[in-house]
Amino acid sequence: MIFNLIKERRSIFPVQYNDKPIAKEDLEKILEAANWAPTHKKTEPWRFKVLTGKKKDEMGVFLSEKYQEVDPKPKQVTINKLQENPARSAAVIAICMQRDPKESLPEWEEIASTAMAVQNMWLCCTELGIGSYWSSPGLIKFMGEFFDLKEGERCLGFFYMGYFDGEVIPSERTPIDEKVEWFD
């Protein structure tokens, strides 16, 4: 049931991933799920760059070097994390958004649509037993130096993915009635 899948979706971090690879067919299924997100005016703004193998390791090196270049007091723990997260992942998907060149709708709607595409990927990963995590470090503004981004395209973050061992810890939420007002 979809409701249970929604409740089971969690952030599973790269440090929790094991070495099991994700089959290309599963990656394609996850991306196809993203493609069915709602899209106002049918702009379909989501764009994805899938990194596996050496390319994800190269991204980790790029991120850690860029961090050291732009931060006046870089922390070794952050340098390591930026480099190790991609390496620990079976795949990393750069989440990008292509702005409608006509600007026929507000940018926030295209960002929201892209986020819904990522939620579809996340739910699909949950169903397949693949851990995933959306990270959006400040360094995403430099991804045009790593990828060949098109005019109006920007990176919104990274979707780290990998199989993991162990249990998913249930999350707690405050009751919905504390967040809703009814009007009749």
Annotated binding site: 9-11, 40, 134-136
CB atoms within 10 A of CB 18: 12
Burial class (CB in 10 A: 0-12, 13-18, 19+), 111: middle
Burial class (CB in 10 A: 0-12, 13-18, 19+), 175: exposed
What CA–CA distance (Å, rounded) separates 169 from 55? 31
Question: Tokens at residue 82, please?
Answer: 């930026």
Which segments are annotated as binding site for FMN?
A: 9-11, 40, 134-136
Provide the terminal-to-terminal Cα distance of the chain, rounded to the nearest Å.
Answer: 31
What CA–CA distance (Å, rounded) separates 44 from 153? 12
Parallel, antiparallel or unpaired: strands 46-51 and 131-135: unpaired
Q: Cα–Cα distances in Å, from 125 out to 10, 41, 92, 162? A: 10, 27, 13, 9
